[in-house]
Chains A and B, each alone.
Chain A
Amino acid sequence: MRSVVLALYRAYLLMLPPGFREQWGDEMYTAAVDAMTETRTWGGSALAALRLGTDCARTFVREWTESAAAAGRRAKGAGMGRSLVQDIKFAIRSFGKAPLFAALVIGTLGLGIGANTAIFSVLHAVVLKPLPYPEPDELVSVWPGKLFSVELLDAAREGIGSFAGISLYGGAILTITEAGDPAEVFGGEVTTNHFRVLGVRPALGRDFVPEDGVPGAAPVVLLSHELWQRRFGGDPDVVGRSIDLQHESTSRRTVIGVMPLGYQGLLRGAQAWVPVIEDRASDSYGNSSFAEAAARLGPEATIETARRELATVAQRVRDEDPGQYAQVEIDRATVWPLVDRLAGSLRQSLFTLLGAVGLVLLIAAANVANLLLVRTSARSREIAVRRAIGAGRARLFRQLMTESITLGLAGGVAGVGVAWLTRDLLLGAMPSGFRVDEAGLSPAVLGFTLAVSIVASLVFGLIAAVAPVRRASSGSLPRSRTSDRRRRDWRVQGVLVSGEVALALIAVFSAGLLVSSVRQLSNVDPGFEPESVLTFRVTAPSGAYPGDEDVLRFFAEVESALNAVPGVDRAGAAGRLPTDGGVSRITINPEGFEPDESGALPDATHRLVSAGYAETVGFRLLEGRFPTETEFREGPQPTFVTRGLAERFFPDGAIGKRFFGSGGSTWLTVVGVIEDVREDALHGTVLPGVYIPHRDWAWRTMYLAVRTSGEPTAHLDAIEAAVHGVAPAVPLSRVRTLEDIVDRSFLETRLNGRLFTLFGALAVILGAIGVYGVMAYSMSLRRQEFGIRLALGARQDELVRRAVRSGLGPLTVGLVAGIAITVPVGRSLASSLEAVEATNSLALVAATGILATVALFATLLPAFRVGRVDPVRSLRIE
């Protein structure tokens, strides 16, 4: 990337006013080299390139304006700057005389540039913008091949010298009852060094200290600025006070500080932070699968050195304690930039989208080049006259380029308008939980738009300016347009048409793939019945229900209270709802199962469920039965599994077989087999699933599902009353219907599908305009020829056939080239999509068909007009 950027920069320097360039160009180039070489990461270079682009655009405008002003002051002579102003004025005037042409060009560019601006604004906010911490390049995410535990953290602290600090962070659900109605608050659970590693300090009060994280420490909390304002009216005396804030089994915490305004933590939207208790003596030590790690690289360290050390650490813990760490996947242990980790899957999807809109812009630029060619050749007389009365080639060239850049900049302004108008639409459709909300028309984004506009104008401007200037340089005033010249223009245009058709084919094909992916995803059988089910989340209050037994009792009481509500068919609880994002995985160890050579145990999704859950969401039993209520409460742990799991591990019947799940404490006995369930909607393949009684882990926060008769939301009040009958102050959060959850889970794919369809349609329309424009133009050039032919006795239908044939050439070349490029593109796209086959021949045939039909029409229309040529009039034209 570096060399490409620098090559572009060299080209850019040539476009600056010569005086400025001669004096400062070399040093500017050196400075650009410095700027591009001082970053360590890919994201860093992308950002440096972006800064450079913004700087370029600003400098371009500024230096030209100054040099124009200086030239204007100097004299009435034909200074460079003065002529530039003259050119711009002339360009605007001439576009004013051809408003339809100008509108078409600016509109085309506006759509192309607008789509790029919109997608880039999100990409910039989520992926490219540095994290709001000091030296963000040093922050990395660490994955040791398994979820982190305190023991693994210790091993990493000791074994990885590349880190100046490593900390853990995870989400936490807190219930606040202090100062107002009880409410659920999303928070973070972090090791006490977390904020020091990141380099952020509380705005008020103190940070966590190591003593806050030892077993038996007094419970403390840091509040977000927002929660502090909303709940405590920004009262500084809150610091030091003990408040009612429940997390796990603690119900009161002392506020030790308030984070700075706007700070939301690594997990977006966190409003309070509690320290992880690093309990090395407890039974769960080494097993308390915690969250993720954020670390800061030391001054000499790089991501590579950290990776090497991490691999050594992972290997060592596995060798030392194979029983505990058998499932550490050493080859997947890695360290990578934190900003990429936080952008997650959105990163890939945004880059794909940017590729798509880039394609649209290329087509738009090719189109504009075509339109300009048509226009300049109509102006060939004007150009020849200018040439004849002494305009230099360079001067003519510059005039044409100025016109192109003026058009490009106008297109850029239109593009900003398009992006601004579509902003809410685009952001509303993006998944939450990323820095999406920070997307906007920031200076960096506008710089990008400006740079894109100028690059696009250079592309179409160069294509459109070279031929006419070269032609004009022959010097003489052309009496008539010779056919030789026509051919050359025609060839340039033929190439443009082929290119446009090929690009449009790729766009349409990609859209087809995405649409079929969305369709297939929404058609699959989820394995449950999402209709008429209301869901919400509750946390067992730790005051009245302190221990594990109490938690189970609480949920049993809630369940039976809900079952008694009129209109409720059945209620049940689960640790997570199907398709609600994220799966908890465990490795399972079936009795008598022989692992393959790698020694790795199989993975399965697992859900903690209550007795009524399976029937509430409508799992379909294939074999055996669901565990009874008594089995859910006591005795050996029963479980039910999905068909996929049963077929894979228990081919001769699953009922009565036993397995051990990682993190569990006892054998689980299979009593039933159900149809496969899509716990994670985005995966094309359904993961094998295991359903375990709630008592195995006794989670304090659970989702409740309630199947109702009729519209589920109509029963919300009665349902809430029933829960409050058990525990008055418990807030019901994330109230949704199961149908909404399932719909929402396809959102990202569906959004991509819609955007791609939109971009594909745009590509087809632009492509068709391009084909039509070229055909119409070439026919108009050959009008005279056709007239002569007609006068000499040629038949009209013969001429039409000829015309169509000449148009079909570039079309066919374009389609063939498009297919050749599309096959590998499709393969790479399909690999990132679910439920789509790599070479979806149907989509390819459909895309080719659509494009060929549209393009054919665009060819036929002007060709038929040729048939109606009046030989006398056409001969009189010259």
Chain B
Amino acid sequence: MVQPIPPAEFRVLLALLDGAKHGHAIKLDVRERTDGRVEMGPGTLYGALKRLVARGWLEEVAPEEAPSGTRDGRRRYYGLTDAGRSAARSELGRMEELLAIARAKSVRGEA
């Protein structure tokens, strides 16, 4: 059984799926995609980054690897490693499986 990924870390992984970003950009991405409902505080964000880097799912990359619009030389950029990418994928698979079970139940339960 694979350990589920904690929500904050999973959100960071998702934010990085479309390219490397710096910390602030990750925060903004999460906010935008949740309509402002999820605000990542500095400690939560960098704590998650620390754990992801430690697990080898994330690595610091050169600013040049980030999408051009978000480049800012003073910041540090993080990108997904292959391991990170596959971890995100397997977590998504796990969630889909759970969702399918829940859907099947509630369809029968509601009717």
Contacts and interface: CB of A to CB of B under 8 A. Distances in A.
User: Do these two chains really belong together in a complex?
Assistant: yes
B43 A58 contact: yes
A42 interface: no
Interface string B11-51: 00000000000011001000000010001011111110111
B50 A55 contact: no
Contacts of B27: 31, 34
Nearest to B39: A51
Given A27-B23, A31-B27, A34-B24, A52 B42 contact: yes
Of B44, B45, B46, B49, chain A has the most CB atoms within 10 Å of the CB of B46
A132 to B, nearest CB: 12
A345 interface: no
Contacts of A23: 50
A7 to B, nearest CB: 15
Interface in A24-40: 24, 27-32, 34-35
A230 interface: no
B50 A52 contact: no
B49 A52 contact: no
Size bin of chain A's contact surface: 20 to 34
B94 interface: no
B45 A20 contact: no
Contacts of A62: 43, 47
A32 B40 CA distance: 11
Contacts of B23: 27, 30-31
A741 interface: no
Contacts of B44: 55, 58-59
A399 to B, nearest CB: 25
A660 to B, nearest CB: 52
Contact of B42 (A31, A60, A66, A134): A31
Contacts of B42: 27-29, 31-32, 35, 52, 55, 59
Contact of A54 (B24, B41, B75, B76): B41
Contacts of B24: 30-31, 34
Contact of B41 (A27, A30, A55): A55
Nearest to A32: B42
Most A Cβ at <10 Å: residue of B35, B39, B41, B76: B41
Nearest to B45: A31
Residue of A20, A31, A35, A134 with most partner-chain B CB within 10 A = A31
Given A20-B50, A23-B50, A30-B24, A59 B43 contact: yes
Contacts of B43: 28, 55-56, 58-60, 62-63
A59 B8 CA distance: 12
Contacts of B51: 66
B77 to A, nearest CB: 11
Interface residues of B, number: 17
Given A30-B24, A31-B23, A31-B24, A59 B47 contact: yes
B81 to A, nearest CB: 18
Interface in A43-62: 51-52, 54-56, 58-60, 62
A649 to B, nearest CB: 55
- Chain A CB count within 10 A is highest, among B35, B43, B47, for B43
Contacts of B45: 28, 31
Given A27-B23, A31-B23, A31-B27, A63 B41 contact: no
Nearest to A63: B47
A66 B9 CA distance: 15
Contacts of A30: 23-24
Contact of A24 (B41, B50, B75): B50
Interface string B53-77: 0000000000000000000000110
A55 B44 CA distance: 6
Q: Of B42, B44, B47, B49, which is in contact with the most chain A CB atoms at under 10 Å from its CB? A: B42
A80 to B, nearest CB: 16
A504 B49 CA distance: 47
Nearest to B41: A55
B61 to A, nearest CB: 15
Interface string A583-618: 000000000000000000000000000000000000
Contacts of B75: 27
Contacts of A31: 23-24, 27, 41-42, 45-46
Interface in A91-146: 134
B92 to A, nearest CB: 25
Contact of B49 (A24, A29, A59): A24
B3 to A, nearest CB: 15
Nearest to A23: B50
Contacts of A60: 43
A24 B42 CA distance: 10
Contacts of A24: 46, 49-50
A134 B41 CA distance: 20
A35 B39 CA distance: 10
B52 to A, nearest CB: 12
Contacts of A56: 41, 43
A20 B47 CA distance: 8
Contacts of B49: 24
A628 to B, nearest CB: 64
Nearest to B53: A23
Nearest to B49: A24
A27 B72 CA distance: 13
B41 A52 contact: yes
Contacts of B50: 20, 23-24
Interface in B87-111: none
A20 B49 CA distance: 11
A155 B35 CA distance: 34
Contacts of A20: 47, 50
Contact of A59 (B39, B41, B76): B41
A448 B51 CA distance: 26
Nearest to B51: A66
A266 to B, nearest CB: 21
Contacts of A28: 42-43, 45-46
A30 B49 CA distance: 15
Nearest to A12: B43
Interface string A608-637: 000000000000000000000000000000
A30 to B, nearest CB: 7
Interface string A63-81: 1001000000000000000
B41 A35 contact: yes
B105 to A, nearest CB: 23
Contacts of A52: 41-42
A199 B58 CA distance: 39
Interface in A458-504: none
Contacts of B35: 134
A24 B75 CA distance: 12
A63 B51 CA distance: 10
Nearest to A55: B41
Max chain B C-beta neighbours (<10 A), residue from A24, A29, A134: A24
Interface of A: 20, 23-24, 27-32, 34-35, 51-52, 54-56, 58-60, 62-63, 66, 134
Given A20-B47, A27-B42, A27-B46, 7 more contacts: A27-B75, A27-B76, A28-B43, A28-B46, A29-B42, A31-B42, A58-B43
Interface of B: 23-24, 27, 35, 39, 41-47, 49-51, 75-76
20 contacts: A20-B47, A23-B50, A24-B50, A27-B75, A28-B45, A30-B24, A31-B27, A51-B39, A52-B41, A54-B41, A55-B41, A55-B43, A56-B41, A58-B41, A58-B43, A58-B44, A59-B42, A60-B43, A62-B47, A63-B47
**Sorted from nearest, which 8 A-B pairs have the closest CB atoms?**
A55-B41, A59-B43, A31-B42, A28-B42, A24-B46, A55-B43, A28-B46, A32-B42
